[in-house]
Structure 1
Amino acid sequence: MKIPTSKSNIVLIGMPGSGKSTVGVLLAKHLAMEFVDTDILIQTRENRDLQSIMDSEGYMALRQIEEEVLLDFDRTHHVVSTGGSAPYSQKGMENLCKNSVVVFLNVSIPVLKSRITNYESRGIAKPDHQSFEELFEERQVLYRRYADITINSDEINQDEVCEAITKAIEKDNQV
């Protein structure tokens, strides 16, 4: 897929533990762009952490707040780390996609489980009865729907993920 150079943002999507925030900071530094994490925008707006929102109002309230934050997003020249549930909001993702190259950081379940030690208190927007494996399968479809680029990052470190993203964007922008 050819990605228009008019898109000034790079949006990272993927499961919790896929490295969106860490890679986002490194990528922004490497590309001399600004960085923003939509989870932090949510927490700043609500003046509480994600788990507190879910504990008091439920996971659907968190998804609604997330959608509002995504719809309000109008920055340019940013690397954007989204929450793992961002693709549940079609309107929010459409807003991001207008001015962004969307990169899916694809990581397998075993690697994610090795990275996530605080699964129950991390603020993951999901029903209580849903297993991590069920959540993973459900979200894979959504991530692939919006991704311009997919980086399989099980076997590579964060710097290599950044390099892979940069190469994929440069390749797609060649005339």
Structure 2
Amino acid sequence: MKSERKLRHPRHQGAKSTLRVAGFGLLLVGGIFALIGFVDFFSSFNSMGPPTKFWCLFVGLPLAALGLGMVKAGYMGEVSRYVAGETAPVLKDTFNYMAEGTQDGVEDLAEAVGRGLHGSRAASQDAKVVLRCHKCNQDNDADSRFCKQCGASLAKSHPCSSCGELNDPDARFCDHCGQAISNSST
């Protein structure tokens, strides 16, 4: 409640009281003018003469509407607190009921996501590492030293003159730095 009072204007209570009192006053005056206008309008049907106080409707109805708006503004906080107090327990019960009903579904979803994540890790760990022959492009086991198709050496034996990285024997550019490799064997 203390923080709620800080949000209010210092003259909040006075403005609220003014809206209530003036609103009821305007509503009463507007209602009287409207009543006079309606009575005059409908009584003119019996006398066969034109209504003389019909203008009271044009004064009374706007005054009554303005008064009603002021009364609504004056009681807005109390009405809002009442509505919130009535609906909050129902909303809480509904939320708890829905949460209880969806708990199994959320647990199933979390379990499926966990299995999927675990499965992708296991699949990446089970992936077979292979060496591709630089001569014939045959896939070989990771621990092979020679190609099982053409017999070429799979070891990288040609050093780069720029960075020292070992490259395939027939490489023209370094795998590491991209510099051209000079082949002394060609």
If the length of structure 1 is used for normalisation, what is the TM-score?
Answer: 0.18
Higher relative contact order (CA 8 A, sep 6+): 1
Task: Determine which structure has more spread, i.e. the larger CA radius of gyration.
Answer: 2
If the length of structure 2 is used for normalisation, what is the TM-score?
Answer: 0.17
Structure with more of its chain in strand, by fraction: 1
